[in-house]
Amino acid sequence: MKIACIGAGYVGGPTMAMVALKCPEIEVVVVDINEERIKAWNSDKLPIYEPGLFEVVKECRGRNLFFSTDTKKHVGEADIVFVSVNTPTKTHGIGAGKAADLTYWEGAARLIASVSTSSKIVVEKSTVPVKTAEAIGKVLKRNCQDPNVQFEILSNPEFLAEGTAMEDLRNPDRVLVGGADTESGRKAIETLASVYAHWIPRERILTANLWSAELAKLTANAFLAQRISSINAISALCEATGADVSQVAHAIGTDSRIGPKFLNASVGFGGSCFQKDILNLCYVCESVGLKEVAEYWYQVVSMNDYQKQRFVERVISAMFNTVSQKKIAIYGFAFKKDTGDTRETPAIDVCKGLIRDGAKVCVYDPEVTPEQIFRDLSAPKFEWDRPNYSRSQSHMLENVQVVSDPAAAAEGAHAICILTEWDEFKTYDYQAMYDKMTKPAFIFDGRNTLDHVKLREIGFIVYALGKPLDPFLVKGY
Ligand code: UDX
Ligand code: UDX
Ligand code: ADP
């Protein structure tokens, strides 16, 4: 059996590496139109950072895992074609700011149709709006010259989270395969299920109809994001009342109906999926006339924007209502730890907010490149999911510095903002940082990851999300 995957990104790359590792008799080829990306997949410096990924790629590459730009050849030869191309949010036209732009998906479908001389199973891997399979089916069937070629479309949404992708792929809670309820549909579902069955117990391979599988992906991300917005809403109330959000989260999480995971208050959720998928869900609701349902889910995104804005306002108000010309160290730019990914990271909005008020930000992140940070701080909203979006000449950048040493970021700074929960942030010598900072020295912990008691003993004024105020401040020092 031969598998091709169109799109060598965060989803396609790791997923196919795991399939190749677990199914040595299957040839897996990941193709992409981006030559640089393919070159990187074939090198020792992979285009994405994911713990454990390089080891798997190294073991399989050249054996039964290949990365190529020859899309026609490999898609043409494949029995199963996974599609994991980017699906950006539309920036203009109908549905701008909400609907998914399926340009890349349609491009992939047209490519599959034009090179197919044998029947294929086409698998939706990247998140798409509900009923995309129907549209894609039309493109495939009407563009293929060979009447003997049949396409069976499956929805097989990916639930991996970045930073833990390899573990999530190795040992997933479930795999979901949706397909048509016809004989050929059921056969295709079974073919794909048998690939996963190489390493995943059958009872964890769920099957569903196409639309349920597509909708399950959007719903899963909406529910996960909703938990974060819910606890973040409570974090604001905690700060106003003297309650501690960690204590509240622990207390509610022990109720098995609620559960303990995904209840960490934060400066806001980021990542390529949550906001995009909720906006998508809202757009789908609106387009079938369900305005109230769309409004309900949209609140999850609004609360997230509020949380980021609230963080910026807290920094400014704590620093005597002005950050003008003040150096502020930013620890962490990635949207979460253990990834170099910055798509929709809250750090973008927080940095922009501080700079708008006159601050000079100095960013340190262990994985994100300076080039990426500059690009993110100058790019218009929603541009990140389009290839080759470029760094514009934004005035923002005059007030951004990126350093490779956390101590250099703290030197002379008035404040440190923790925006990503990298483990290494807990290990720093904060006394040394404090000694080199301008006083009073502030720490704003947007991830509640540091030891606040210890920091206060050193002399820092500490603000943490959803936590009681610094006792010194309460006493009026
Ligand atoms: C609730 C809380 O569960 C309990 O912890 C608290 O102390 C008091 O309020 P109660 O109202 O008695 O308890 O019942 P509960 O089982 O929570 O159901 C509340 C309502 O939600 C019911 O009308 C129930 O039918 C409905 N429900 C519950 C659903 O519609 N769907 C569900 O999945 C669960
Ligand atoms: C998410 C889903 O978890 C995954 O199943 C789906 O396939 C893709 O989207 P990902 O975006 O990679 O994965 O990371 P995730 O761990 O879900 O974190 C998303 C954001 O929420 C991060 O910015 C993270 O810091 C934030 N978060 C997460 C919180 O603020 N609090 C939490 O308790 C958990
Ligand atoms: P995700 O996070 O969903 O994996 P990425 O943006 O990381 O998304 O990856 C999507 C990849 O798909 C990009 O590398 C892009 O170049 C590639 N791609 C988009 N359209 C096509 C196409 N028609 N043929 C081949 N590759 C494509």
- For residue 340, how far is its CA from the centre of ligand 1 (angstroms)? 42
- For residue 337, how far is its CA from the centre of ligand 3 (angstroms)? 23
Task: Quote ipTM for the complex.
Answer: 0.88
All domains of the chain, ordered by start, with CATH?
A: 2-200 (3.40.50.720), 222-474 (3.40.50.720)
- Please report the pLDDT score of residue 391 as a whole number: 55
- Please report the pLDDT score of residue 395 as a whole number: 72
- Please report the pLDDT score of residue 265 as a whole number: 98
Q: How far is CA 186 from the centre of its chain?
A: 32
88 is in an annotated binding site: yes
Cβ(375)–Cβ(391) under 8 Å?
A: yes
- Please report the pLDDT score of residue 169 as a whole number: 98
Name the stretches of the chain with pLDDT < 70. Answer: 384, 387-394, 471-477
- For residue 268, how far is its CA from the centre of ligand 3 (angstroms)? 26
C-alpha–C-alpha distance, residues 400 and 441, integer Å: 20
- Please report the pLDDT score of residue 381 as a whole number: 73
**446: amino acid identity, one letter:** G
Both tokens assigned to 19: 């399939």
- Please report the pLDDT score of residue 475 as a whole number: 62
- Please report the pLDDT score of residue 286 as a whole number: 95
**Three-state SS letters, 344-369:** CCHHHHHHHHHHHCCCEEEEECCCCC
Would the CA dihedral through 117, 119, 121, 126 be positive or negative? positive
Q: Ligand 3 in contact with 12 (CB < 6 A)?
A: yes
- Please report the pLDDT score of residue 264 as a whole number: 98
- Please report the pLDDT score of residue 474 as a whole number: 62
273 is in an annotated binding site: yes
C-alpha–C-alpha distance, residues 362 and 418, integer Å: 12
pTM for the model: 0.93
Catalytic residue among 144, 273, 282, 362: 273
Q: Which atom of ligand 3 is nearest to the CA of 127?
A: 3
- Please report the pLDDT score of residue 88 as a whole number: 87
**Residues 6+ positions from 467 with CB-CB distance below 8 Å:** 238, 239, 244, 245, 246, 448, 452
- Ligand 3 mutation pick, 85, 110, 162, max ligand atoms within 8 A of CB: 85
DSSP 8-state code for residue 155:
E
Tell me which ligand sits closest to the C-alpha of residue 256. Answer: 1
11 is in an annotated binding site: yes
456 is in an annotated binding site: no
C-alpha–C-alpha distance, residues 342 and 55, integer Å: 23
- Please report the pLDDT score of residue 147 as a whole number: 87
Q: How far is CA 139 from the centre of its chain?
A: 29
Question: Does 417 qualify as catalytic in the annotation?
Answer: no
- For residue 32, how far is its CA from the centre of ligand 1 (angstroms)? 50
pLDDT in tens, 48-63: 989 999 999 999 999 9
- Please report the pLDDT score of residue 67 as a whole number: 98
Q: Ligand 3 in contact with 34 (CB < 6 A)?
A: yes
DSSP 8-state code for residue 52:
T
Residue having the nearest C-alpha atom to atom 17 of ligand 2: 161
